[in-house]
Structure 1
Amino acid sequence: MNLEFYKYQGTGNDFIIVDNRSELFPKKDTKINSKISKLCERHFGIGADGLILLEKCKGYDFNMVYYNSDGREGTMCGNGGRCTVDLAKYLKIFERETTFLGFDGVHHASVEVDNKIKLQMKNVQEVKKRDGFFLDTGSPHYVVMVDDIYNYPVKEKGRIIAHLEPYGKKGTNVNFVEQNGNNSFFVRTYERGVEDETLSCGTGVVASAISMFHAQQTKSKNINIITRGGHLNISFKIDNNGGYHSIFLKGAVEKVYQGHLFGF
């Protein structure tokens, strides 16, 4: 089987994306998880933090299916969503604005005048305090502030926290945050399913921005986040019950290259 794929990155968070509107991708193959894992492996495969399928979806422009680099189907991926939106525009599925379905429900997105992708994320109704903060932004995230973030042992500390008992069998993503301005923060993220630090995490920076506002570290509802892979902007509004809505994640993406999977 010869399948075309696109390699994308959004602030260093990289993905293999397949246009699966023809339904040729072998999702029901009993070995599909190990095959995806091999594709995402950086020495023997293409290399990526995850694999995404862009599929047809009745009532929406498309459906996004996300797999972690370990081959297991994951939850919502913010940077992956932004990359998939850019591919959908490249494939002429839409022009400037789109509505699509992800793991966590309906998402709206637009291509801004600076060609950055602005993606609406799911509402957040609750932020739990557990030494740090725990919340769901499409994927579960734990957020904690640290000092000297550039030298912080993210992988070692993240692996321990991610699989603690309160977060269940699937675990949680872990974000380490340090403030570097009134409405600016540096974030490093340990991602479950990747089981390592990634250069950026979309749902993670959203969780971090909301947590920092919730912790009164900033009064701004428009927050800039710096990751090892680049800069992202998060904006949101607050409802009468203290929940967060109209949450938008904005940043640049890049189609790095495209190729073909032979004998997949």
Structure 2
Amino acid sequence: MKNQPIRFHKLHGAGNDFVIIDNRSDGKHARFDGKNAALIRRICDRHFGVGADGLMLISEDTDSDFQLEYYNADGFPGEMCGNGARCAVWLAHLLGVTGRQCKFIVWGENYEAEVLENQQVRLKMNPPTFSAERQNLQSLCDNRFPEMGWLNTGVPHLVVKSAENLAALDVRKFGAYFRYHPKFEPEGVNVNFVVPESEHQLNVRVYERGVENETLACGTGAVACAIYAAQQWQWQSPVRVNAVGGVLQIAFDPDFQQIYLTGPVATVFEGELNELYFQNNAVVNQ
């Protein structure tokens, strides 16, 4: 990678934005080393880099259409990112890597997706998991946050019902409080603050682990919110999740074995990390 230009694409899914690099070994591209956490942090930095909630690498896979590596903005691998995966599927389709339907792998886990009309991508999610030791969260509830629940939809999520208007909520303050709470050690948790808008429709703001800040949307978080609503409030599929950056639709069967996340994707711009960029950012390799 040293001194060779790296082509990148910046995309967003409902405002959740990502730098995606075509990392296939076809001789047409300089390859990116995902082990350089400091460089990933710099690229994702909104002042010193491209700016993004995360970075992804698309590469070949012998058993599927492509392999996807996802890294959070802190430079370290993230288990799964729903909106990021949808963006990667869209880009892979544009690059001719896949047709409208595809199968791909994220850190050894298999996923399926489909490119729909109007720049929508539908992603089939894996079934959620639950933790008995993290189901009794009553001690964390109060008048501001009267109920909450934990589940894993590819990454761990806490769904917190807010009694306050979300627009006035200090998401960074309260999100960090729950994200680092000892109850969720050692891995921490993503935090989704929800207010039901109407039956089958939720308003959501989210604090993402690895970004350590509010993001405009979170795909795995939207799925977690929908499943929580189905379990606790007996909502039926589909559930509409209104994130700050856009609308996500979650469809599911009663047993949560067939879960689909659908939402918008868009290319923001393309660019190149050239030799001058790496020279100016040499400090990140120290």
TM class, shorter-length: over 0.9
- Gapped regions of structure 2 (runs ≥ 5): 139-147, 279-286
What's the counterpart of residue 130 of structure 1? 137
What's the counterpart of residue 25 of structure 1? 32
Q: What does residue range 7-156 of structure 1 map to in structure 2 within 5 Å?
A: 7-22=10-25, 24-28=31-35, 32-103=36-107, 105-126=109-130, 128-131=135-138, 132-147=148-163, 148-156=165-173
Out of 197, 203, 215, which is 2:220 matched to? 203
- Gapped regions of structure 1 (runs ≥ 5): none
TM-score, L = length of structure 1 = 0.93
Q: Secondary structure of the equivalent of 2:123? A: strand
Q: Which amino acid aligns with 1:189?
A: V
Moved over 2 A (4+): 125-131
Answering whether residue 6 of structure 2 is matched by residue 3 of structure 1, we say yes
Out of 181, 185, 188, which is 2:202 matched to? 185
Q: Secondary structure of the equivalent of 1:249? A: strand
Q: Are the aligned partners of 1:104 and 1:138 in contact in 2 as well (CA < 8 Å)?
A: no
- Structure index of larger Rg: 2
Distance 1:18 1:245 in 2: 31
**CA deviation digits over 1:112-152, x for unaligned, max 9?**
13331000111124373524110000010000100211111
Q: Which amino acid aligns with 1:26?
A: D
Greater percentage in helix: 2
Greater percentage in strand: 1
Q: Secondary structure of the equivalent of 1:215? A: helix
Q: Which amino acid aligns with 2:154?
A: G
Please report how far the alpha carbon of residue 58 of structure 1 lies from its aligned counterpart in structure 2 after TM superposition: 1.4
Distance 1:71 1:120 in 2: 26
Q: Are the aligned partners of 2:119 and 2:266 in contact in 1 as well (CA < 8 Å)?
A: no
Out of 227, 234, 252, which is 1:236 matched to? 252
Identical aligned residues as a percent: 39
Answering whether residue 270 of structure 2 is matched by residue 258 of structure 1, we say yes
Please report how far the alpha carbon of residue 247 of structure 1 lies from its aligned counterpart in structure 2 after TM superposition: 0.5
Q: Are the aligned partners of 1:75 and 1:104 in contact in 2 as well (CA < 8 Å)?
A: no
Please report how far the alpha carbon of residue 15 of structure 1 lies from its aligned counterpart in structure 2 after TM superposition: 0.3
TM-score, L = length of structure 2 = 0.86
Q: Are the aligned partners of 1:104 and 1:122 in contact in 2 as well (CA < 8 Å)?
A: no
Aligned length, in residue pairs: 256
